[in-house]
Structure 1
Amino acid sequence: MASLRDIRTRIGSVKNTQQITRAMKMVAAAKLRRAQERIFSTRPYAFKIREMIGHLRQRLDVTSHPLFEARDEVEGALLIVVTSDRGLAGAFNTNILKVAEATIAERFAAQRDAGRLRIVAVGRKAHEYFGKRGFTLVGDFQGLFNDLRFPRAGEITDLAVEGYLAGEWDVVEVVYNEFKNTITQNRIAEQLLPIPAEAFFTPVMEEAADLDTAAGEADEVEYIFEPSAEVLLERLIPEYLQYQLWRALLESNASEQGARMVAMDNATTNAGELLKDLKLTYNRARQAAITTEIIEISSGAEAMTAG
């Protein structure tokens, strides 16, 4: 059995750990609120840009645009995997890396075998994971969540579009955690390039309950585009792609903070349970030590009396 000093030392260590996990939970909760606010503030812009492209689709055949046109043969592929830079978030990173591996096995096994699969690892965890397993990494986006800004999404988008237009890869997919609530994250693998035409028929904002009615009214309006519909489309497509990446980064950031908050809450609770067990063990050991001392004193007293 451990000595009383060892048990006291362990109790102090667990208390310190509990204070740390409680503080980390509070920090994650504050970051989660900010992350959610950023997601909500981005939605109106997302709704509007998709609405504008939807109007342009009525004027133009967007499928002739190189970023809409699907290629007959997919020889090369780019997979953008979004993880966190830090751990202590439960199974947050493990789950999304499993989805990335499953996506590669199901859709890009041939490209990987041919050496035509490239990975954009967003976050240190993804960078380390794929780097150790011999994948070809494109770009270095470690530490991105330390200073998460909209232009950083543009860097990833530019890299993906340039390689796509140059023929380095024929399809681009993004794998990330979509925030649902603090307990649940949806693991998403969606196509970025070529741009799916049906993307502009999906409602962006949950608040737009009357979207179908609004769209019907909008169809009756004749829009005048300046300078031209073609020029506007060329300008809006990069904006749309950058938003898609930005949304994925924001969703992943919110999911990370939610997962860390839950993990630290569980750790704090577990530390409390461990403290109860340690204190009970300490009290039992102390009682046993006291009983032993009493027996020794009684035995000594009896021996002296008998002598």
Structure 2
Amino acid sequence: MASSKEIRSKISTVGNIKKITSAMEMIARTKMKRAVDGVLSVRPYALYAQELLQNLGSDKTIENPYLDKKNKNQNSNKVLLIVIAGDKGLCGGYNANIIREFRRRQKASQELDIIAIGKKAVLETKKAGLPLLSEYADIPDKITAEFIHPIAEQARKKYLTGDYKEVELLFTDFESSFVQKVRTRVILPIDLGYIASVLDESASEETKGENLAKSEISTFSPYLLEPSANIIIETIVPKLVDMSLMHALFESRASEESSRMFAMKNATENAEELKADLTLTFNRIRQQGITQEIAEIAAGAEAIK
């Protein structure tokens, strides 16, 4: 059995770990709230941009590579996959779930080129031996347009070369604090019906704080376009691609911090239980020592008589 000194040392260590995990839980809670606010801030723009594209795309005479699946890319089977994972661990199954889906896609005999965002995504892509077009190992705490734009711009330009059939996002969708799901979203070519359903589905009741349902967005009469629909589409789509990537990053960040928050909460609770067990063991050993000393004193006094 361990000595009382060793157990006292363990109690001190567990207490220190509990302080760390409790602090990490509070930090993760704050970061998750910030990411959810980011989702809310992006969503109104996304809905209005999507509505504008729907109105433009309803004109069957408009031909544009951003909107048309049957463009010069139709003979290509390659997919440009943007994978979003975390930079750090201690976040439950967040990274493991993304990596599991990534490996499934790899085994599906699909031709994949990768843009990896997050250290875990970079490491897994290199481990898989897949072509890595770009790597962004460090995701900033504050996700900004300056970070997003170069990634989205590279994906958009690669798509327009005709080398890729689709550009897809692999990320974790934040449905609530308790539910996060790994999702794949096609961002190029633009599928108007798909965008409408995804934007409505991806915001959970917890992230619908502004309650911007599709029914609340006005329906415009047909546009009079100047200079042309294609020029307008080519102006809007790059911004919509930026928005889609930013939306996915905010969703992923909220999911990661939610997973970390619950992982640290469980760790804190386990530390409390372990500390209580160790304290009980320490008190028992201490009581045994006191009882033994009393018995020895009593035996010595009896011997003197």
TM over 0.5: yes
Q: Does 1:175 align with 2:170?
A: yes
Aligned to 1:233: 233
TM-score w.r.t. length of structure 1 = 0.88
Percent of residue pairs identical = 35
Alignment of 1:1-307 (within 5 A): 1-59=1-59, 61-62=61-62, 64-65=64-65, 68-70=68-70, 71-106=73-108, 109-111=109-111, 117-202=112-197, 204=199, 207-209=211-213, 211=215, 217-218=219-220, 221-305=221-305
Would the aligned equivalents of 2:66 and 2:190 in 1 still touch at CA under 8 Å?
Answer: no
Would the aligned equivalents of 1:145 and 1:253 in 2 still touch at CA under 8 Å?
Answer: no
Cα distance change on mapping 1:135 and 1:303 into 2, 3 Å: farther
Q: Alpha-carbon deviation of 1:267?
A: 0.9
Task: Provide the rounded CA distance (Å) in 2 between the counterparts of 1:17 and 1:48.
Answer: 47
Task: Provide the rounded CA distance (Å) in 2 between the counterparts of 1:110 and 1:209.
Answer: 36
Task: Provide the rounded CA distance (Å) in 2 between the counterparts of 1:265 and 1:127.
Answer: 28
Q: Alpha-carbon deviation of 1:147?
A: 4.0
TM-score w.r.t. length of structure 2 = 0.88
TM-superposition CA deviations, 1:30-81 (whole Å, max 9, x none) = 1112111111111111111111111111335455425633443443222211
Q: Alpha-carbon deviation of 1:210?
A: 5.7
TM-superposition CA deviations, 1:203-260 (whole Å, max 9, x none) = 735634462x856x53xx2322333222111101111111111110110011111111
SS of the residue 2:135 aligns to: coil
SS of the residue 1:187 aligns to: strand
More displaced stretch, 85-94 vs 97-106: 97-106
Task: Provide the rounded CA distance (Å) in 2 between the counterparts of 1:200 and 1:248.
Answer: 13
Cα distance change on mapping 1:41 and 1:297 into 2, 3 Å: same
Instruction: Name the amino acid aligned to 1:72.
Output: Q
Q: Alpha-carbon deviation of 1:201?
A: 4.1
SS of the residue 1:139 aligns to: strand
Q: Alpha-carbon deviation of 1:165?
A: 2.3
Q: Which runs of 5 or more residues in structure 1 are unaligned?
A: 112-116
Cα distance change on mapping 1:247 and 1:101 into 2, 3 Å: same
SS of the residue 1:42 aligns to: helix
Q: What RMSD in Å do the two structures reach over aligned CA positions? A: 2.1
Cα distance change on mapping 1:44 and 1:201 into 2, 3 Å: closer
TM-superposition CA deviations, 1:163-185 (whole Å, max 9, x none) = 22224433222111111112210
SS of the residue 1:72 aligns to: coil
Task: Provide the rounded CA distance (Å) in 1 between the counterparts of 2:242 and 2:43.
Answer: 14
Q: Alpha-carbon deviation of 1:141?
A: 0.7
**How many residue pairs end up in the alignment?**
294
Task: Provide the rounded CA distance (Å) in 1 between the counterparts of 2:42 and 2:233.
Answer: 21
